[in-house]
Amino acid sequence: MSAPLAERMRPTSLDDYIGQKHLVGKGCVLRNMIDSGRMGSFILWGPPGVGKTTLASIVAHQLQAPFYTLSAISSGVKDVREVIEKARNNHFFNTQSPILFIDEIHRFSKSQQDSLLGAVEQGVVTLIGATTENPSFEVIRPLLSRCQVYVLKSLQNEDLLQLLDKVLQKDPLLSSRRFEIKETDALLRYSAGDARKFLNIIELIFESSEEPIVISDAIVTERLQQNPLAYDKGGELHYDIISAYIKSIRGSDPDAALYWLARMIEGGEDPAFIARRLVISASEDIGLANPNALLLANAAFDAVMKIGWPEGRIPLAEATIYLANCPKSNSAYMAINKALQEVKVSGNLPVPLHLRNAPTNLMRDLGYGREYKYAHDYEGHYVQQQYMPDDLVGRQFWQRQTNDSHSGVKNNK
């Protein structure tokens, strides 16, 4: 029995690696470190099917370093310690440390992550972690501070088409078959930047078709309707469902949001994953239209962490319904993005003298804080004065939206 197409097409060198040019392209950070022959610990953060595991194995191969892997789902503290001891015995002076690759590192408990600290700090192992979750939420701070974080992006359509061409020319099983490519829109749409999904769909079509094999939008759609999960062997449907869940809340449809919530609960989703996205939705999509939404989302998060499943479904459902029925405003979300963009463009503009702190006589003599007007000394606790840097006077980041002045839950029924 042959290996799956995704495994057969796994590249073994950076030259064959598709995508992530911002990291592995000529002159980019990971490429430079690999070419130098020395590498520190890092975490690869990105959605499924973008090459995290492949990149880790390429690093080990090109550095000719011993390579150990652990799965956060099936490994405990004892397994971590055993691998570290093997790495310690396999580490020779003035050579690259053995590489320890941990898939789904966000699922490691605090004690498991703690057991890695000493080995990473002492250079016994070079840690490469892979995660689909934000490491700042899921990786303990001491471990995170010892690792660089590199963000991997969903593959672009041109990347996937390059992969398709490579499959049809080089795969030992598929390259010998007759095929015709009529359309690729559905293939690209269903893959959604995920190379594993993309390859699984191709494999499904080749396995279920007689020659000549035709790839068209109609055939891709038909095959996936007949085998709705065939292209999702790694459980990546999880990301489509959370997307539908958040978009249903944003679109003020509580019934659809509850349906997607139920799908996640039945699928065994981590309750913290759901609760965290409720907090994000309350901030991003509801925002100033109803600031109480963030309080309720946080309360639901706390409740779920305290009571777990199955009762945790109740506060999650309550928060879901509440957020879906809230008026919506993304003005705060848009405003901070504009402000961040301005900082990137204009750099570190000086703070106006009257706004500067003046804890010493020298600073006061230089005029720090001298012209500052204390708002509470004026009628209505307000006084007109300049707060922006000189170069940005009059610049506006926040735009009031209609719902910003509203509060409470609207009745859609």
Pairwise CA distance, residues 152 & 149, whole Å: 10
CB-based contacts of 330, cutoff 8 Å, min separation 6: 284, 285, 287, 401
Q: How many CB atoms lie within 10 A of CB 1?
A: 3
Give residue 133's identity as a one-letter amino acid code.
E
Find residue 99's DSSP bridge partners: 67, 126
Q: Which residue has the tokens 């109480």?
A: 292
Q: How many CB atoms lie within 10 A of CB 286?
A: 27
Pairwise CA distance, residues 301 & 281, whole Å: 13
CA dihedral (297, 302, 305, 306) positive or negative? negative
Q: Which residue has the tokens 């759901």?
A: 274
Number of H helices, E strands in the chain: 19, 7
> Which one is the CATH code of 20-151: 3.40.50.300, 3.30.110.40, 3.40.190.10, 3.30.390.50?
3.40.50.300
pLDDT at position 359? 77
- What is this structure's pTM? 0.58
H/E stretch holding 213 reads strand 213-215
Residue 146 to residues 56, 126, 141: CA-CA distances in angstroms? 17, 10, 9
Pairwise CA distance, residues 235 & 186, whole Å: 20
Write down the domain spans for the chain. Answer: 20-151, 157-226, 237-325, 335-392
pLDDT at position 54? 92
157-226 maps to CATH 3.50.50.60? no
237-325 maps to CATH 1.20.272.10? yes
Q: How many CB atoms lie within 10 A of CB 322?
A: 21
Pairing, β 99-103 against β 67-71:
parallel
Look up residue 292 and give its two tokens.
Answer: 């109480």
* Sequential pLDDT tens for the chain (413 residues): 578 888 888 988 888 899 999 999 888 999 988 888 878 899 999 888 899 999 998 988 888 888 898 887 777 788 888 888 888 887 666 667 889 999 888 888 888 888 889 889 888 899 999 998 888 878 888 999 999 999 999 899 999 999 999 998 888 888 888 888 898 888 888 888 889 889 989 988 888 888 788 888 888 888 876 554 443 434 445 677 888 899 999 999 999 999 999 888 877 778 888 999 999 999 999 999 999 999 999 999 999 988 887 888 999 999 999 999 999 999 998 898 888 888 888 888 888 888 888 877 777 777 888 888 888 988 999 889 888 888 888 888 888 877 554 444 444 33
